[in-house]
Structure 1
Amino acid sequence: MTKRKKPKYKIGDTVVITIYGTVGRVTDVKWLDGAYVYEVNKSHGLFNESALELLSEYDGKVLEQEQIDIEYKFFIGDLVQVSGYGADLFKVIGFRTEIWRYKEDAWEDVIYELSRVSDGEWLEVGEEELTLVADAESADTFIQKLGLLYLVNKQDKTTKSPNIQNMVRKAEFEEISRKKEKKELIDNLLDIFNDYRILYELFQDQEYYQVMRVILKKLESLVNNDGKSHV
């Protein structure tokens, strides 16, 4: 029986993949069909000995490989607000990284693709223009709890207050019909109030302040009428 020869390269050797001119480290050595094959940089592909050469012995041109680490602040499904768009809410539906390289300069731009919650309008913005409102896991619950039910048609500021009242009344009616318990309705309205308070403190938008006033009136009505609210 012929004694198996030793592999030309061992794990940890720095080699050049000659067909590409790229450099890597041997991360595994396998015996396959009577020959040694090599894994480089934990890649899925395997190279035979003729495709590799030790870097110290290689006299061809080596192509430099750049490793770029990008830290993303937002992810698909996140609920965000955009600078210049007031209290409008958007969902992240995609993102990409644009890599710029010049002789004297280099940078990376992260671009996010958004869809507005109110009407689905598509928007592309840079990372610095976004503020996180809720992560993807809690975004839908956040919208429902706040009662941010936007109309498809754009409306004037003067019509927003009655619509907000209708939203709170609807939430109140549905909650009473489903739960039939005063305490749960009050707890729900308090949760909504606290969420809007946080939004108002963050963005100082008067629409949030209006909602807080409407909710306080509803709570006062519930307490004064011993839970017999009128829708």
Structure 2
Amino acid sequence: MKPKFAIGDIVAVDGYKDRIFYVDCWREVKQHEEYGAFDYVEYDLTDAINGEWLEADSADLRLVCRKAASEDFLMTYDMTNYPEPTSTAQHFTDGYVLGIDYAKEEAVGMAKEPKETPKTARVASAQEVAKRKRETDELLDKYIDLMTLYELIGDEDYKTYADAVMTKLRREAGE
């Protein structure tokens, strides 16, 4: 059985309007009942913006973005009016939580507990980009300073240090 969605893909889930989720993992399920057996794939999902966890059947999912483009997608994603999580509890799209039948409407009406706001993928990614840019700018400044000193003073040590900084810049750019 081949899953429709890969780990890291971004999907939308029926019943969770205007929300997007990362695919965390998938599992093949073979269910045996009195009148037969059937196979299906279940997915564990995490809300890409607020971190809420959800379990869903493949029939309830729609692809929004493949993993390869997910970071770019989230960098440009408009979070204005993004829906709040329904609760801090885990959710199953078929309405079962730990074997007890709950209607989705009841889960939505549950009192919200205060929670820490987790870093969203977009915020974490933007912070990572800013950090890398800052580090690159610092290395470039250092390289320019060392080359200026080399040209003014002529000491080969400055040239050696500048070459080491350039090697580090190239190595990080290749990663």
Give the TM-score band, short-chain normalised: 0.3 to 0.5
Give the alignment's TM-score, normalised by structure 1: 0.34
Give the alignment's TM-score, normalised by structure 2: 0.44
1 or 2 for the larger relative contact order (CA 8 Å, sep ≥6)? Answer: 2
| Structure with more helix by fraction | 2
